[in-house]
Each structure stands twice: as C-alpha cells, then as structure tokens.
Structure 1
C-alpha cells in the first residue's frame, strides 16, 4: 500500500498561530511533534517510508523535507492549491508509475487519531476491500454527538465483511448540516462522519476522475507524459493554472456509483479549529484547556493558548484566547469555525504582515 499525505492546506481556522509561511500541518499544536510528522509516524508500521508521498505547496518544500525525513522524490509540489481532486490525481500519477495496480490511502496531514492500532487495522481492511471490490473506499467515523462541523455519509446496502469489519455502499454524501439535521442523523443510526480518509486502487481513482472530471483528467494525462522529463515542472504549472479547484468529495465521490464506506472508530478528530483542541488534549477540573503560562479564575470551558506572556482569565465561559508574538485572537468557542473570516478580512485590508 502507498500513502498520500495531503499537506497543501492553509490552516486558516488556526490563525494567528497558523500563517502562510507555516500553516497548521507544520506546527506542533498537539504534543512535541508537528502534525505532518505525527501523520507519517502513524503510517509507517503498515506503509514503508519509501511508499509515502506528501503533496505540498511549493513554498513549504523545505519545511516538508526538514520535518518529515522524506526524500525530495517523495514530495510532490503543487505550484498553487487547487483543492483535493487535483492533489489526489497528481499523486496517483506518480504511484501509477511505480505500481499500476497499487492501492493508495489518501489522508490529510493534520488530523488526530487516538487509537493507532485500530486505525492501522482499519487501513489494512480497507486495502483488502479496495483490492477485491475495485470500489473507492472512505472511512466513516461513528458519530459521538450531533455536530455541524463535519460532512456526513449515509450507509446503503451491505457489500461485504472482512475481519469483522463491514463495508457498505454509500447511499449519499451530505454537506455539513444544521444542528437539527445533525440530531436527526445521529438518531437515524445510518449516518457517519466523513473523515476525508480514502483508500482505493490507483487505477480506480484515475478512471473515476476520467469519468466525472474529464477536464482534470486531460490535464493529468499531459502531466503523465511529462513526468521524468525536463518539462515536468513547467507542465504541472501550466495544467494547474488552467484547472479549477474542486474537492475529491464533490468532484468524484458524490457522483461515482462505486463508493463504499467502512464504519470506523479509532478516536479520530480533524482538529478543525481552536475549539476542538480540548477534545484531544487534557483539561482541568473546570473544563479548561490551558497551554502556556496561565492563571484562570472563575473560568470554565475555555481554551487558552500562549507561550511567553502570562495570560490571566477571570469570569470567562466558552471562550478561546490565543496569543502569538504579533497578534491575539479572542473568540467564543462556538464561533471558532469562522476564524477563517478574520484571515479573509486581513487579505481584503492588505494586512499581509499578519498572514
């Protein structure tokens, strides 16, 4: 099995710590290792390091080399971000050159997984299912509570079972719902969180891109002809400048009739905002997550993230405070998904020094 780590995101919901020069996946937000390094270490028991690829933005090549220990040949550089469909298609081309019938897992660089062994076992089961069925497999997380922060997958008919793990045809993908719909999904019992972790044969995903995203496929074929030649970098830049950004979910998975889902439970968290940190790191007796020099009085359910300065809180409930060298974020926890709007405002105002 090959692995493709998607590491081209901007991590805007983790501003002001996450910046253009060093986005979330290159930060040690959880523990002492950066998130991309943790992802690689998580995979190596079942995927040899020489079969792991990272897809990154050109400006982050040196960070990737320094943090991951991957060779430059294993780092695929995108000239500009175009979302996950081009990213996955491009990586599939490189894997196809090594093994035309190879199986690849594609996953984000910045997720947290609590139960390593359960995760690896599920990956191997997904590899077997993808090989035997030819389906595009996604890992769906058993929902723990209703949330508007994730997309959902509805299970359809049972397709098979491997090592006590069932896999189902996908009935439908849904966008992030409102709260009342999320409550209905949880009560229904047939809905899973969409983790954004995929397993498939390289030949299968390229064929589905050909069917559902023909313009992208045409560009990928140009790149395939140029790989290994002096025109490789130039061709990738040319193709990327002429394609639109589109997610693999919207572009392929929602349209394909060969998608399957494996219900999974290995302590997954997408670490999608500052508010989610208290789901993966230990809290104090008042439900606060305090990182750095902190004093909290009459404070509950609050996340405080700092480094050098003392941060003192008094009478707070459900708040996030993030202190960096040149910027401070203060937000309600339930608004943390919208931190990216601050980044958008900074862009509009031309305040690039804070980006």
Structure 2
C-alpha cells in the first residue's frame, strides 16, 4: 500500500522577505498559480489517492495546510509541536501511517521542490515501490543526474547497477557526500557516478521504525509511547514529550549508517527551488530577460528579478538587480547578493 508523506515544516529563509515564519515558501506561489505544496500534492494524485497522502508540518501551519489542501483528510495532517529536524518528524509520521495502513510503503517527499516531468516522476516512484515490495528491508532514494557542477546540493555516490525495475536502473549507494566546493563538484560531474541528493526516500513504514529503534532508540521510545496512547491523550503526550526526542536529520541518523540502500538515477526536471535564482530559471521572462511578478513596469532595464505585491513597481535603467516586496519590507539588491539573503534577514531582524 503506497502512501506519500510530504514534509512541510521548513522556514524558507532564502526567500525572505516574501517567505516568513508565519507563511514559509511551501505555501507561496513562487512558480505559477499554485503554491509549492499544492504542486507537490497535484503531481501525486494520479499515482496515490488523496486519502493516502499525508502532510507533516508545524503546529502553526495546520490552518494553511487545511486552506490550501481542502480535500486532504484532516486526520492526514500530522502535527509537529516544535521543529526537531527530519528524523523525529518522519518517525512520528511512520507510526501514524502504519496505524492507518498496515504494511504501508511510504514515499517521503519535500513540499517545496519543482518537478517538470511529472509523469516520469510518478514512474520513478512506482519503480521504487515495486523494488521495496520485493526488498522490504531496503531503502530507495531518488538521485538526480547532474547537468552542472552544483555546490548547493549534497551528492550520492553510486556503485554497480543491481537490477532493472519497470525499465529503470536501481543502483547500490556507496556513500552520501556533503555539499562540495566548486572543484569537487566539477570532479563529480566528470566522474559520472555521482547524483544530486534530492532528499526523497521510499521505504516500508515498519523498516524505518526498525531502523529508528536501532540507531536513535531514545527518539523511537518516546514516539512509540506517544503513538500508542489513546486518542484522548495523544495531543497532550505529543506536546509534553516531543521536545525530548533527538534533534537530528534522517540522513545523519540513519541514511549514512545503513548498508541496504539503493538509488534510482532520475531525470524528471528536478530543482529544489532553494533561492530566488530558481525563480529566475523557471519563470517567464520579457524581451529584456527580466522576471516580473506583479504590476511591474521596466524602462530600459534588463536581467532583473522583480517581485511586487500590492503597488506598481517601476524600475528604470537598472541591470542585474532584484526587488522583492512583501507586506512589511521592500528588499533591493544586486543579484550577486541573493546568496546572502539569509544573512541580510538576520541583520534586519
């Protein structure tokens, strides 16, 4: 029984000032007429029915999830009282999903990524599901074939091809690699055995619970007690005890330690939409290579990113700058400084 778990708890600080702690990037329309989380759910619906799609998010975002995903069953919104990184929220969700669907396979997916070839994406998820049904103690991750020496992503080093499932190669994972410098990234691109790590995993719920018990038993024990509580006591136990779990990523806690892990090399037009540069890559541009969102008037300006909100924005004689308007702030800078937005936000705060 294939289910999806969409992780929707991130802050999206690199999209400030539009993305805020009250409404982070997964709830914004960064690339079109739908929000990032709506795009994520829509691309799954031809493979996984809405009743088997789950969203794990922070308590403060539950109303946004309900508003933007009105067809999602309320019981499928899994609440994390405070952010404790990905391992606890995935484990909490695995307990909940297994309770509803015995022998569930879970596809764990971020809520804020772009997938351009959605049919191919579903083919890859279906192949991973088939592999897991035959290899229930295994983990499958999705690795994107790199087309540039990217320093902003982690990498997966692959080993030999182990099998072909639904026409797709399934390779052994040799190791996970942290974000490299430019020299290493160029080396990985030439090598051919490295894939971008998109943070997407497919596994049996019972397997990830087994591995959590093995590698982070404190977290497992706390969450098992919460999961086994009667419905009337669940929320109180969750709020009182969740702070005691280990704050650790699933990559560090489990992925880097297990041996029975595989990757499907994937080509479905993936981007993690990590900065305003991503919006520049995928939004339509005018004849002067400007990305304009909102009521924007360009006069003799080119190669700019301008995101307006309420008022007309006029730029004249400017080149290679970005402008982002929110309800509270207008941020203007050189496009070269987009990488520093998180630090700029810290100075403003």
CA shift, 1:221, in A, is 1.5
1: CA distance between counterparts of 2:177 and 2:317?
Answer: 39
1: CA distance between counterparts of 2:303 and 2:132?
Answer: 42
Structure 1 residues 82, 331: CA separation in 2 closer, same or farther (over 3 Å shift)?
A: farther
2: CA distance between counterparts of 1:167 and 1:342?
Answer: 42
Match of 2:251 in 1: 249
| C-alpha contact 1:275 1:320 (8 A) present in aligned 2 | no
Q: 1:213-233 CA distances to partner (integer Å, 9 max, x unpaired)? A: 22211222112221x432211
1: CA distance between counterparts of 2:288 and 2:188?
Answer: 30
Q: Secondary structure at the match of 1:308?
A: coil
Is 1:154 matched with 2:157? yes
2: CA distance between counterparts of 1:150 and 1:298?
Answer: 36
Q: 1:176 aligns with which of 179, 202, 206?
A: 179
CA shift, 1:297, in A, is 4.6
Match of 1:107 in 2: 109
Q: Which runs of 5+ in 2 are unaligned?
A: none
Is 1:41 matched with 2:42? yes
Structure 1 residues 24, 208: CA separation in 2 closer, same or farther (over 3 Å shift)?
A: same
| C-alpha contact 1:141 1:193 (8 A) present in aligned 2 | yes
| C-alpha contact 1:56 1:78 (8 A) present in aligned 2 | yes
TM-score normalised by L of structure 2: 0.94
TM-score normalised by L of structure 1: 0.92
Structure 1 residues 335, 156: CA separation in 2 closer, same or farther (over 3 Å shift)?
A: farther
CA shift, 1:107, in A, is 0.6
Match of 2:57 in 1: 56
Q: Secondary structure at the match of 2:232?
A: coil
Is 1:234 matched with 2:221? no
Match of 2:289 in 1: 287
Moved more, 140-149 or 231-240: 231-240
CA shift, 1:148, in A, is 1.1
Match of 2:6 in 1: 5
1: CA distance between counterparts of 2:202 and 2:125?
Answer: 8
Match of 2:28 in 1: 27
Q: 2:123 aligns with which of 118, 121, 124?
A: 121
Q: Secondary structure at the match of 1:198?
A: strand
